[in-house]
Amino acid sequence: MIYSRIIGTGSHLPKKVVTNHDLEKILDTDDQWIRDRTGIRERRISSAEEPTTVLAENACRKALEAADVDPGEIDLLVLGTTTPDLIFPSSACLIQKKLGLPDCGAMDVNAACSGFIYALSIADKFIRCGDAKKVLVCGAETLSSLINWNKRETAVIFGDGAGAMVLEASAEPGILSTHIHANGNYADLLNTEVGVSRGFEGLKDNDGKAELMMKGNEVFKVAVRTLGRIVDETLAANNMDKSELDWLIPHQANLRIISATARKLDMNMEQVVITVDRHGNTSAASVPLALDEAVRDGRIKRGDMLLLEAFGGGFTWGSALIKY
């Protein structure tokens, strides 16, 4: 049997740090209020010189270096993002050029905060069916471009960043299974209200820019229920008991959601990789950012069993069970 195995990870964050105390100066909020509700202390915000493709390029280069893989060996690039540089060409194509990849397939996948899990699932299938031997997978976002900095409910939550990994075909188990789902009935709870075919008219707020809209309490309730179900689904698909997991690497949306998922798995918080306090919610970038941090600081070791999960606008959700 052919498996997809992680052979290198990388990540990249914008230079600018925005703390809760910085936000106190422009919003009716304070550090304690933000930390109590989200667990966030600070987030990174990209500049005009740091669009999604620049963040992604840097993360991908670090992953390729960690894997000791030449760009010419890559058979496919899959990018999870909700904030591409352009409508087209895809950001994946722009990154392909930046990295000097061969004429391989390159695609964007838009599944909001679940984008990296969706991209990982696609990459895994290409390797398992024999169509690719080495695949570069990335999650990158500049959600600050969709934030109305006058609205506390979204301005305190989101940040920018990118994370990546290189997958290689292997006879040794790596990605054991991936699971992806969606339910458009919840679309109005987390969305933007403009788009290409619908037009960009009517943008009176946020200086005429597209804006991320979120009904936070409703999103929280659905997220906790849904992530609980996908945990059960993933373990059942692999005939595995939750006690066999070494690490939970969750989407970094909110510390309360992360804690609820850990309780579901009877995992202590020392077994959970947490970056939301320093990164905020970086959407599709959050899972690979957290994974790379834990790999590089030595917490995650070869042979560890990892559960990755994410939940995002759409609604979309997904998971991956990985023997690292």
In the predicted model, residues of the chain with pLDDT beneath 50 are none
Please state whether the peptide bond connecting residue 311 to the residue before it is cis, i.e. omega within 30 degrees of 0.
Answer: no
Q: What is the pLDDT of residue 208?
A: 66
Out of 20, 113, 254, 279, the active site residue is 113
Q: What is the pLDDT of residue 195?
A: 84
Of 13, 9, 89, nearest in space to 54 by CA: 13
| R_g over Cα of the chain | 19
20 is catalytic: no
Q: What is the pLDDT of residue 193?
A: 84
Q: Domains in the chain, start-ordered, CATH in brackets?
A: 3-172 (3.40.47.10), 177-323 (3.40.47.10)
Q: What's the full length of the chain, in residues?
A: 324
Q: What is the pLDDT of residue 34?
A: 95
Out of 12, 60, 138, 251, the active site residue is 251
22, containing H or E segment: helix 20-24
Q: What is the pLDDT of residue 200?
A: 74
Of 248, 225, 224, nearest in space to 235 by CA: 248
Instruction: Determine the longest span between alpha carbons in the chain, in angstroms.
Output: 57
Out of 20, 58, 110, 281, the active site residue is 281
Q: What is the pLDDT of residue 82?
A: 97
Q: What is the pLDDT of residue 206?
A: 65
pLDDT single digits (tens) 259-290: 999 999 999 999 999 999 999 999 999 999 99
251 is catalytic: yes
* Cα dihedral 32/38/39/42 (nearest 10): -80
110 is catalytic: no
